[in-house]
Structure 1
Amino acid sequence: MVINELLFCFSYTESDLKVCSALPIQMLLDQSSQKEKYKSPSYQIREGDQVNTAVTAPGATLALGMMFFRSGNKTVANWMKARDTQHLLDFVCPDLLLLRMIARGLILWDDILHTEEWVLDHVPAAIRPYCLVKPHPGILPDNIDYETMKYVKLFVLFSLSFNLQFDLISYCNIIAGACMAMGLRLAGSANNEAFITLFNFCKKFTSMSGKSIAELAGKSTIETCLNVILLALAMNINLMSSLQCISAA
């Protein structure tokens, strides 16, 4: 990591540079980068020789977002981006994706738009086709001889069910985080297009909570993400749309 590249448009003190270089260690699940010099007990939760990023990542993620607020720094913003492959996404707790989208919005403050396309662009292309799909035999690959290997079908279906569950949870948190970033950016603006966008996502999550697919992601996940979107919606209401917001809540 090159600090000069990250802070090219800032004038930070030496202590600020040390904090900035330590925060990614607390955020990223990359144990190879947890160097010996980052072992101060004042800001780390360690398990053995490694940092417990499940504890430190939420605070470190938001701290980086606020340190680089409105900087437009693409290097730091790319740390917050949801990974492009299923394999890399497996290394990130889905709950943290919500915070990463908020932090990315803080960094790329001036790039936030108020359209559904902008929100959906945060979802990696690799998981988009599987985000709202329930596991069923029809999604099984057809290049396997299930008659010969009778137990393989159950194993493959179980694996696909787990992947679909993970993809759906990740999708919900990414959408909620992007909506919150939009809500923060346009708070108090009474932007009608932003209101329509957030209200549509609110209705989408509300309809999901009453369907069987909610059981795949977990109703607690759906409700948490719905509450985040409602909060973003409430920050961008005007007098005419307040009744719609209240009815959605």
Structure 2
Amino acid sequence: MSAKIHPTAIIDPKAELDSSVTVGAYSTIGAHVKVGADTRIASHVVLKGPTTIGKNNQIFQFSSLGEEPQDKKYRDEPTTLEIGDNNTIREFCTFNRGTIQDKGVTKIGNDNWIMAYVHIAHDCTIGNNTIMANNSSLAGHVDIHDYAILGGFTLIHQFCKVGAHVITAVGSVVFKDIPPYVTAAGYDAKPHGINAEGLKRRGYSPESITQIKRAYKALYRNSLTLEEAKLELANMQKDCPEIAMLTDFLQISTRGIVR
């Protein structure tokens, strides 16, 4: 293991690193940090525990992962950060551990592309295959679902949910939940159609995309109340199973949706 750790790196004896992990110059890895196979940690990275990092991640220089939450209620409880496999974490990212007021864990899934200066606050949950562009920031308790894309400088208010296949424009400020498939932009963020190009790239059929557009119109363009739109979407999903993702999301939304 020592052959892959730069001599200036500081590794706590209570850290657990797979023998294939590489650690760059001047990085610091604290107690109760576990790092899986083939993960590459660049120079000047700080990892604090309890934190678990999976396999084949690449963590670029000057990132700080697993630091205590930025929450005045925090009293040194042993909360955690969990990072899955195959994630790219670029320069100057900050990911905080959870709090006991929530699940006690900040969780990041697999195959995410997280660009420079991204902040993920306590108790956030990130799915798989997301993209978070430079300077995106999540307040506490935010959920980002699979394949969501946050444009640069997107800011997400605490307790918000961002549905699967959503895309936000640069500089968006999000105060409410964004349903799956929606393109959102502005301060505060408003819906601007569906992410049709993203759906095409992910293999959605033209027929399914047409049905999702119809669902979007029912939700946003047909002057229906939210409850009326939910009933309409429930009928539509009988012919298009992909719409079930929308109806399910509306059931779990707690802050209301962008309108």
Q: Give the TM-score, by structure 1 length.
A: 0.29
Q: Which has the higher contact order (CA 8 A, sep 6+)?
A: 1
Determine which structure has the larger helix proportion and give its number: 1
